Amino acid sequence: MNAVAEIDVTSDSLYYEDHPWAELATLRRESPVHWYQQPGYEPFWLISRHEDIAWVSRNTEFFSHQQRIGVETPDEIDPWEIERERRAGLYGHPADYPVGLGLMDAPLHTQVRAAMYPCFTTKASEARSERLAELSKGYVADFLKTLDERGTADVAYELSALLPLAVIFELLGIPEEDWDELFEYHKDTATAFHTDFATADGQQAMQRFMRAMGALDEYFSALVRRRMEEGGEGGTDVLSRLVQATVDEQPLAFHDMSYMLFNLVQAGNGTTRNVIAGGIRALLQHPDQLQKLIDDPSLLDSAVDEIIRYTSIAVTLVRTCVKDTEIGGQKIRKGETVALFYPSGNRDEDAFSDPNAFDITRKPNRHVSFGGNGMHRCVGAALAREEIKAMFKVLVPVLPTLELDGEVRQLVLRMVILEYAKLPVRRKEK
């Protein structure tokens, strides 16, 4: 029996505490382009090396994004696919219609991305630094107050989730008085099926999920209609830019803008929120690195990149081969699926010295956490860095007074993202 063929990196239980690092290292060493067949998943090519992940990301003429974003799980009902089919029926387009930037191929992707990009450039993101600092100080102060009142508090949903959502809401021009309600709806879409949150059976969890999705759809649809009526003229927020954008000399459809809003909220929040949570955990577990950062605040930029690499919150993205090619000497045929395992690329021994170490001084740090360097590199990468930087600038002086408090619980959602479901902390005893 081929031991490599039996390797499992898609079981939920493998991600409860961390990534399956040992299994991924074995694949990099013995089968870096691996035909993966495990119960519950359609077979796919698992790409584990940094070099190959980067190659696939760049060569979009061979790989399409439109068919799917995550590995297929035919043995389970995927609520996101149900939602996609519901929207297809509502708006009258095919079920495989690209419902967001991540599912678009060129030239559509290029034109839609160009319309939004001015809001996400490095310059635009750095210009938000004062506002990010203001929000971070307020959220950390509120969190510490809760912590001192209760004796324990959960980083995952009482701290790290707040700043990313607030920033996205501001970018979309959403009034601040609506943020709390939208945050609760968003929380339900992310936690309806979490063991630590769901108090009902699967059917009730699905109903909770669909209610939250319906409420978000209703809110974003009304917001899009208002912006369309206004014509977007003079507006600098993302939605106003989308209203003014054209694709093949035609304005974007109403449903296209609704999809983009929803995807920005989901993607812009999910990754950054969990990187912040994972960074807090990493620094608490590595007090020597925390002390380095306290002693030398100029290390913050490199610390942010190391937190992003080390936590590897983005797990996989999937591509469909549209033209016969080769990856690492392995023939990949048209129609076959490849899954890029970013955590594996971020611990590749050929790309990083001592890759399993958490080293905030690491340079260079060419991690693939933002999707490699192709056209689908995360549009919000620069903004995410600024958010993480702002939060840790406030947190670093506080972290020496904190410690982990009990069980840390992670979940992997659709093999796309690692989600912190529970990350409790408490004050250290003096």
d(CA 109, CA 215) in angstroms, rounded, equals 27
- Residue listed under structure tokens 């206004």: 230
10-residue mean pLDDT profile of the chain (430 residues): values are 82 90 97 92 94 93 82 62 75 74 74 84 94 97 97 93 92 90 82 59 74 86 88 81 85 83 78 95 98 98 98 93 96 96 97 98 95 76 95 98 92 86 91
d(CA 217, CA 388) in angstroms, rounded, equals 28
**Cis preceding linkage at 397, omega within 30:** no
May I ask the CATH class of domain 87-314+350-427?
mainly alpha
Asked if 220 and 254 count as a contact pair (C-beta separation under 8 A), the reply is: no
DSSP code at position 249: T
CA atoms 201, 205, 206, 207: torsion sign? positive
49 token code pair: 């090396």
d(CA 181, CA 179) in angstroms, rounded, equals 6
Asked if 98 and 64 count as a contact pair (C-beta separation under 8 A), the reply is: no
Which SS3 state, helix, strand or coil, does residue 202 take? helix
State pTM to two decimals: 0.92
CA 415 and chain centroid, separation: 11
Give 176: exposed, middle or buried? Use CB within 10 Å, 0-12, 13-18, 19+. Answer: exposed
Which SS3 state, helix, strand or coil, does residue 209 take? helix
pLDDT at residue 198, as a whole number: 52
pLDDT at residue 305, as a whole number: 97
pLDDT at residue 46, as a whole number: 97
